[in-house]
Every structure is written in structure tokens, then in C-alpha cells.
Structure 1
């Protein structure tokens, strides 16, 4: 992550002056980049995750870069628990008097063949990535945005061609995108805009360490297939998020912005397919069409 002294947002200074933002999973990776950008543009930013200690450490680190107390840690929050989310939103509204911006960045998944995913494993990922995002949106709306307006961005992952090896997460994130399309109409009378940013394969400080050897295999297979022939940066994601949150996107709601270097338009080569005919033919098919 670039130091504040050398990094500058492409957006104008004080774009979010006086605004209060909440970024879940804001202590590391993409979430941390979003927090830096919002704070650098004048917002007061609360970060949350299950590990409150990590949030305090991240907040102290970012404030030391020159954000003068703009970043604060929220209470420990497991987004699979409704009561944790309710307490988090209440904390932000009561302490800061507003919740103008919500970025749902927290989530989790693991790499696995779909046939090997247990019911419990599938449920855990869906509860985190889909249900948790819904509950964050619902509480932000009910506790503040219904009467005051606001802007929400949901961070999703996936691919228009599916996501072999992470089917459970792809299914949940697709649900988030469709949920966003539904909420944008329901909540527009309250002056609430809600959109999605769908990152591709993004380089972050932590990299793919959480996935172990599977993460290295993932990179080895996926990078050569990307049209951009490189990973994306966290700052490229945060720039898209900030645009959706700002007044310049005032007519944008229910959208999905892909930050993936064209990756959504290629298949993910994560499944090895043997060199043989896998589907029987119906009707006449010349030999050259089988090659």
C-alpha cells in the first residue's frame, strides 16, 4: 500500500468532507485501500471486522499516515450474526451522528471442487457473503438511510462465465448482485443509491496466503488467461468504489462495475478437462467439427 505522502487520489480534495462511512473488512487488502481513499477525501471512516484488535491496529497505522483521526475502529463484528451487525450500525450512528456511506467489503471463501463442498461449508460461505451483506444493507437503511439517504457499494467477486473452484462464493456473490438490483428500486424513494463493484484478480498485501498452495495454483492458471496479462491493483478497485459513492454518479444505481482487465469475458481455466469427447453427439457432425 503506498504511503499517504506519495499516494494521491484522482478525485478532488474534500470530496467527502463531513461524510461518515463504514467499510466492513476495512483493515486489509481492498478494504484498506477503500478506507485510505475515503479518508484522504475527507470522510470519517469506521472499519469493522471480526478481529477488533486488527481494526484498531489498522486505524492507528492509517491515522499515522496523516489522516488525523479520520479512521476509527468499530466493535468486533461477525457479519454472520444479526445482533453483531445491529450493534455495529447503532455504534456508528450514535457515535458519529450519521451513516452516509456503506461499503460491504467483508467476505470469505475457500477453493474447492464443488463435489467436495459440504452442506455446512456451502452454508457458511452463503451466510457470510450473501446474508451478511443483506443484513448490513438492511440495518444501514433501517437505522439511518431510510430518512436521510445515502450510498452503498457491495464488493462482489465472480465471473460472467462462472467460477470453477469457488462455486459457493460465486453463487453467493451473484445473489448479492441481484439483491442490489432489487434494492435499488425499493430504496430509491429514500434517496439511497446501491451499486456493486466486481473486482477481478487483484494484488493485495496479503496476496493469496489464505489459500495456501491452492492460491499459487490459482495464480499460475489464471494470469496467462487474462486479456490484461496482469493482476489489478487495490487502488484501481477503490477508485471505482469512490466514483460510485460520489455525487458525480448521482444517476447510477443498481449497476455492476467490473474491475478485471477484461477477465469477465474469458473462461477461468481452473478445471482440467481431458482431451477426449465429453458429450455425445446428436445428429451428423463432420470429423473436422470434432477437432
Structure 2
């Protein structure tokens, strides 16, 4: 029997990047999946790839949606339950870069950038989780959210408004996990570092050990394996409310540690 046979997953942000790779992996391992995003053409391409890997048409549900819109959040949950009869796994992977119209960064960005980041990267995750709870209680299900290492204990001045909701998401993960485990629902998250999802500085980051000690930007599949691990109760049943860092060592490095101290000291 496949790893996720008889399971149903709803994966937000699954038209590209980590969400896409998550939906493909879960489906390949027997899961029925609802895929969603704003780009219909990309969603249909993801569906074709899932079907190519052996899933049937009846095991993939495509629902274009904007997760900032609460009525479309409701639609996602309701149509998943109508189609599949249950929900076992919610993967909150929705996200995207929100740029200031004037090219400003950090604190100088417009408050519209702040508001959009909060709505997309935090509020939508909280709302989707809340709306999934009644169904996940029935299946003793799992919630896995995608956070980022920018949420951790160091400054992220250039992408301040992007990292703030991720920091709040980590607190939501911890607190919701303590509350919901009483109902049999596990809540965890994954904090990726630099991932090959079209980021324009990949070569620069890969070549500098102060950025990525591992020496390479992660591929989405390397993040997805951890998401699948957290979604698999047999493999991770005792992990509650954690945000697992998957960053090739990026969050471990202080600037000075990236250099040869003996060389700097003339030894």
C-alpha cells in the first residue's frame, strides 16, 4: 500500500514552487489532492504531471482561488469535502514576493506591502486552518505550513514585511499545536532557506559559504520530503508544534565564521 493511500490533502499555493512539488509527491505516494492557485494554466500543468505519475482523474481536484478572499477559502474546503468526502492533510504553502511599487525595501516600503504580506502569508493560513479544523478532527489529521528562516532570531531588513508574518506564523504553529492536539490534530511547519523557485540570486548564494554552507540552493523536492515526513503520522507522530529548518546550514552562520580565521589572523 502506498504511503498516503486513503488520504486526502489540500495543498495551497500548488501551482508552482514548493506547493507544486508537495502536491506531486503526495499524489505519487497515493494521496488524493486538491491543488489550488490563481493561475489556471499552471494548475492544469501540475494536474497533467500528477496524472503522468499514475494518479487517476478522480484523485485530483483543481480549484483556482485567491486565498486572500474568504469566500474562496470556503470554496476550497467545501469542494474538497464534496469531491473526496474527507480531509486528512492541509498544507499551507501559499506565498509569493510582494514588491513595493516604488522599489523601496525594509521599513521604507509602503504599508500596502505590509498589509498584503499579512493577508497572504499569515491571515490566509490562519483562516484555512480554522476552516479545516472540523474536518481534520474527524480524520485526526495534519496541518503543515511553510514558513521561512527569515522568521528566526536574526534581522531581515531588506525583506522585513515578508519575514514578519512568517515569525507570527511560527507562533501560530506552536500555539495551535498545543490546542489542537487535544482533538487529535497535529500542527507543524517547515522553514526553508534559499530554494530554487526562480530566485534571481541563486548562483551568488550557492558560491558563498556565508550564505549557504551546503554549497547549493535547495531544490523544492528537498523541502517537500520534510513536509511529507510531517504529514505522515506513522513517521512523525511525536512531533508537535515544531518548525523544522531546512536551509543547508544558512541559519547557523555568523559572518565571521564564513572565513578562514587562521588566514585572517596570519597563522
Could you say which TM-score interval applies, normalised by the shorter chain? 0.7 to 0.9
Q: Is 1:119 aligned to residue 111 of structure 2?
A: yes
3-state SS of 2:54 partner? helix
**1:131 matches 2:123:** yes
1:45 aligns with 2:37: no
Contact 1:63 / 1:70 at 8 angstroms: preserved in 2? Answer: no
Q: 2:170 aligns with which of 177, 192, 201?
A: 177
CA distance in 1, matches of 2:70, 2:45: 25
Could you say which structure has the larger radius of gyration? 1
Cα displacement (A) at 1:157: 1.4
Q: Distance in 1 between matches of 2:89 and 2:188?
A: 12
Matched positions, count: 247
How far apart in 1 are the matches of 2:55 and 2:159?
A: 37
1:267 Cα offset (Å): 5.5
Which of 176, 191, 199 aligns to 1:198? It is 191
Determine which structure has the larger helix proportion and give its number: 2
CA-CA distance at 1:78 after TM superposition: 1.0
* Residue 229 (structure 1) aligns with: 215
Work out the CA distance in 2 between the residues paired with 1:219 and 1:166: 20
Q: Structure 2 length normalisation: TM-score?
A: 0.86
Instruction: Render the CA deviation track for 1:35-75: whole Å, top value 9, x for unaligned.
Output: 12111111111111122342123202321233333752432
SS of the residue corresponding to residue 66 of structure 2 reads coil
Task: Please list, as runs of the form range in 1=range in 2, the aligned pairs for 1:93-112 lying within 5 A after superposition.
Answer: 93-110=81-98, 112=104
| Unaligned residue ranges in structure 2 (runs of 5+) | 256-267
Whether the aligned pair in 2 keeps the contact of 1:20 and 1:101 (CA below 8 Å) is: yes
With normalisation by structure 1, the TM-score equals 0.79
2:204 to 199, 217, 220: 220
Distance in structure 1 (CA, Å) of the matches to 2:155 and 2:81: 38
3-state DSSP of counterpart to 2:112: helix
Counterpart check, 1:25 vs 2:16 = no
Structure 1 residues 158-177: aligned runs within 5 Å: 158-159=149-150, 160=152, 161-177=154-170
Q: Is the 8 A contact 2:77 2:132 kept in 1?
A: yes
Cα deviation, 1:165-220, whole Å, max 9, x if unaligned, reads 1111110111111001010011112100010001111124xx12xxxxxx33x752
In 1, the alpha carbon distance for the partners of 2:196 and 2:180 equals: 34
The one of 46, 71, 80 equivalent to 1:83 is: 71
Relative to structure 1, is the Cα distance of residues 192 and 120 closer, same or farther in structure 2, using a 3 angstrom cutoff?
Answer: same
RMSD: 2.1
**How far apart, CA to CA, are the structure 1 residues paired with 2:249 and 2:97?**
23
**Residue number in structure 1 paired with 2:258:** none
Shift of 1:16: 0.6
CA contact 1:27–1:59 (8 Å) conserved in 2: no
Q: 1:243 aligns with which of 229, 235, 260?
A: 229
Distance in 2 of aligned mates of 1:20 and 1:69: 14
